[in-house]
């Protein structure tokens, strides 16, 4: 029997390859998709390339340990991940309601993985094989590696390494970490002797020597009770997530010492090129075809990741804690070669959907200093103002896009994964800006101002709103100059720490002035591994140790959300309540500046069709922006939101391209 090009997904697949046992069984909470946007695919292909046998145990029945015996006992151990995102984020909305659709399961069916999948899988493996080596990784493990506030339990939970009973935890980008671990295990080194690998976390006896200088040691028993101590601990963790200047960090757990080694250095260009050249099938496993396939492939199948890391530093984003703030990118040649492979796919229609990454328009580290000294521990590169050392250059990115556009079968290249507009505005050369608007926008460009109140934006770690306003003006000016009508689709977030009812009203008025009515708004979602989550739990900004206002009451969060969709009839009562609480009853009435009519107020016959259509989705167009003084109505259209494709709302803050 000819072996499948997919890695073994069952015992029959393994036997068809002539294996008696795999070196590693990779347990994942997602369906098996062999595409370089999926972490399991990358790590398994990297290990295969190094000569190791890897079998994939995808979404095993977790109610007993029988499914975990599918391939027998692996020669070297089990690798365990919940999948591309945290299992709790995959299962629950920001209001803790159960989701009805799973983008990473066949047919979108829910229930294929358990809550807290990493812990459950590891416990089942221990039942099946006892003392077999277990290494956990992926987003769920990476972001829960320390004591962490858990939104769903509303308490500080222990490190996932403690609760899972795994031997090692890997965090960040795992290729070189797991290659090092695999080679040590292959040489016969016991897993409990592997203590010096960067990018790993392990449990030890307090008297054991630590291989790296230690930044600080904390005690879980204090962290779970003392919010200020918890915020201080996160601040230390955040400042030590750089491979050049980061040090080890320890936590005590009732006689056991948890040790996080410093991060593994990021893959350099040649290493990234090799990783993305491996023989991915670029699709889900054919066994899922009968169920309708895996929805998560749709957004990425014709997309390309050209970079890793992000120096943007948004406080609600987990990238700083996972991929890191140091940017690395692939060569133009490597990306173009991948584009050629995409053009050979049978269902390719001529459109590259994205050439991006965590932030699409980053190609290099923020400054030369980062290459020698690492990222600055106490300074963001772009906010509140761009650092004087920031290097801004879109030349290579533009050349990359142009070379892909020149390929014979490519009709159009879009950029969808997110342009950092403040970085774009910092570039004195607007050549890329003009090209982006002219050639690479699919009618609408997604951008992320998130809010308009500068106090809230400061808590988010973002640039002042005036930067976005300047970007918007320039976008529409260029759009007009080339004779197109294109739209901006701004991502907005309600109830982020720092946001009061007054701030939400300010945002509602801003939306009204700009004739924009968002179809959906993302409530702030406290996910592990972010500074914003620490603010939500403690009321303290862990990067400044200053107090922050937090809307934790569910009803207040409803009020803030309703204000961002003030024109929907079903929100009228909540909007009136919010305006009354904030002392802004002047905005209840029939005037042009008002957000809502009085309760029971009659609609006046002279009202325009635009007012009669209140509540419908509108988009800000170039003409509407140009004529806003006359309140000209913008064209209507369906507004895509951050939760409509590829991943549930909230996953954006955990986004990774791996």
- Closest of 326, 29, 46, 376 to residue 183, by C-alpha: 46
The predicted structure's pLDDT at residue 605: 44
Pairing of strands 77-81, 24-28: parallel
pLDDT (0 to 100) of residue 417: 81
Report the SS3 class of residue 311: coil
Whole-angstrom Cα distance, residue 447 to residue 420? 8
Q: What Rg value do the Cα atoms of the chain yield, rounded?
A: 25
Dist. CA 595–CA 578, nearest whole Å: 11
Q: Which residues contact 431 (CB under 8 A, 6 or more apart)?
A: 394, 398
Cβ neighbors of 642 (< 8 A, separation 6 or more) are 491, 520, 522, 649, 652
Helix (H) or strand (E) holding 125: helix 117-129
Q: Residue-wise over 166-198: b if at least 16 C-beta within 10 A, else e?
A: bbbbbbbbbbbbbbbbbebbeeeeebeebbebb
3-state secondary structure of 258: strand
The pTM (predicted TM-score) of the whole model is 0.90
Domains and CATH numbers, the chain: 11-200 (3.40.50.2300), 475-525+534-658 (no CATH)
| CA gap 600, 239 in Å, rounded | 54
Average pLDDT, the chain: 91
Instruction: Please count the CA atoms within 13 angstroms of the CA of 523 that sit on its side-chain side.
Output: 22
Q: Select from 90, 149, 218, 88 the least CA-distant residue to 536.
A: 149
Per-residue pLDDT reduced to its tens digit, 372-418:
999 998 889 999 999 999 999 999 999 999 999 999 999 999 998 88
What pLDDT does residue 442 have?
87
HEC-encoded secondary structure of 332-357: HHHHHHHHHHHHCCCCCCCEECEEEC
Q: Which residue has the tokens 């040090």?
A: 247
Q: Residues 178-212: pLDDT tens digits? A: 999 999 999 999 999 999 999 999 999 999 999 99
Q: 413: part of which helix (H) or strand (E)?
A: strand 412-413
Q: How far apart are the C-alpha atoms of 467 and 383, rounded to whole Å?
A: 10
Looking at residue 423, its pLDDT comes to: 97
Which residues of the chain fall below pLDDT 50?
Answer: 1-3, 605, 607-647, 649, 651-652, 655-658
Give the pLDDT confidence score for residue 497 in this predicted structure.
Answer: 98
State residue 418's pLDDT score: 83
pLDDT at 615 (0 to 100): 40
CB atoms within 10 A of CB 204: 15
């Amino acid at each position: 029997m000819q072996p499948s090009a997919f890695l073994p997904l069952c015992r029959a697949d393994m036997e068809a390859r002539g294996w008696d046992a795999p070196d590693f069984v990779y347990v994942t909470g997602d369906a098996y998709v062999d595409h370089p946007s999926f972490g399991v695919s990358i790590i398994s292909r990297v290990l295969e390339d190094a000569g190791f046998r890897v079998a994939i145990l995808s979404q095993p029945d977790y109610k007993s340990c029988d499914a975990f015996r599918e391939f027998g006992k692996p020669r070297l151990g089990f690798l365990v991940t919940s999948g591309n995102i945290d299992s709790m984020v995959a299962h629950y909305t920001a209001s803790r309601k159960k989701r009805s659709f799973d983008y990473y399961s066949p047919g979108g069916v829910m229930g294929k993985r358990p809550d807290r999948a990493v812990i459950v899988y590891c416990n089942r493996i221990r039942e099946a094989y006892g003392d077999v080596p277990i290494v956990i990784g992926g987003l769920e493990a990476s972001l829960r590696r320390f004591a962490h506030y858990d939104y769903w339990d509303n308490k500080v939970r222990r490190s996932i390494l403690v609760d899972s009973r795994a031997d090692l935890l890997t965090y960040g980008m795992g290729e070189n970490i797991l290659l090092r671990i695999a080679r040590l295990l292959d040489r016969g080194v016991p897993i409990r002797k592997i203590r010096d690998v960067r990018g790993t976390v392990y449990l030890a006896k307090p008297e054991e020597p630590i291989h790296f200088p230690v930044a600080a040691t904390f005690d879980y028993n204090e962290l779970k009770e003392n919010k200020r101590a918890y915020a201080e601990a996160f601040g230390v963790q955040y400042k030590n997530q750089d491979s050049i200047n980061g040090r080890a960090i320890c936590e005590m757990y009732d006689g056991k010492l948890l040790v996080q080694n410093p991060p593994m250095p990021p893959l350099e260009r040649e290493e990234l090129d090799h990783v993305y050249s491996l023989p991915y099938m670029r699709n889900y496993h054919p066994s899922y075809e009968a169920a309708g396939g895996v929805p998560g492939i749709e957004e990425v199948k014709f997309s390309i990741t050209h970079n890793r890391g992000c120096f943007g530093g948004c406080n609600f984003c987990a990238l700083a804690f996972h991929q890191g703030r140091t940017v690395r990118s692939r060569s133009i040649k490597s990306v173009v070669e991948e584009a050629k492979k995409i053009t050979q796919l049978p269902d390719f229609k001529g459109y590259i959907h994205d050439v991006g990454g965590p932030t699409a328009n980053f190609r290099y580290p923020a400054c030369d200093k980062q290459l020698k000294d690492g990222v600055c521990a106490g300074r963001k590169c772009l906010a509140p103002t761009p650092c004087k050392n920031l290097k801004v250059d879109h030349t290579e990115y533009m050349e990359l896009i142009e070379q892909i556009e020149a390929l014979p079968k490519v009709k159009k290249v879009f950029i969808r994964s997110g342009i950092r507009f403040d970085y774009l505005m910092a570039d004195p050369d607007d050549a890329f800006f003009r090209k982006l608007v002219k050639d690479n926008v699919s009618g609408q460009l997604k951008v992320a101002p998130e809010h308009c109140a500068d106090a809230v934006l400061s808590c988010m770690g973002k640039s002042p709103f005036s930067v976005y306003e300047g970007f918007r003006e320039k976008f529409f000016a260029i759009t007009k100059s080339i004779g197109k009508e294109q739209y901006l689709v701004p991502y907005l977030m309600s109830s982020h720490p720092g946001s009061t009812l007054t701030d939400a009203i300010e945002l509602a008025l801003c939306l009204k002035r700009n004739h924009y009515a968002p179809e959906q708004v993302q409530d702030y979602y406290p996910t592990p591994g972010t500074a914003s989550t620490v603010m939500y739990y403690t009321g303290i900004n862990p990067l400044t140790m200053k107090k922050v206002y937090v809307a934790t009451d569910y009803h207040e969060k409803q009020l803030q959300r309703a204000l961002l969709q003030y024109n929907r009839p079903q929100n009228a009562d909540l909007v009136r309540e919010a305006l009354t609480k904030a002392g802004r009853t002047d905005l209840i009435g029939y005037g042009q500046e008002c957000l809502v009519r009085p309760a029971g107020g009659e609609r006046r016959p002279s009202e325009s069709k635009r007012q009669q259509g209140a509540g419908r989705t509108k988009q800000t167009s170039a003409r509407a922006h140009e004529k806003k003084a006359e309140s000209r109505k913008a064209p209507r259209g369906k507004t895509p939101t951050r939760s409509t494709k590829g991943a549930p709302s909230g996953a954006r803050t955990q986004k990774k391209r791996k």
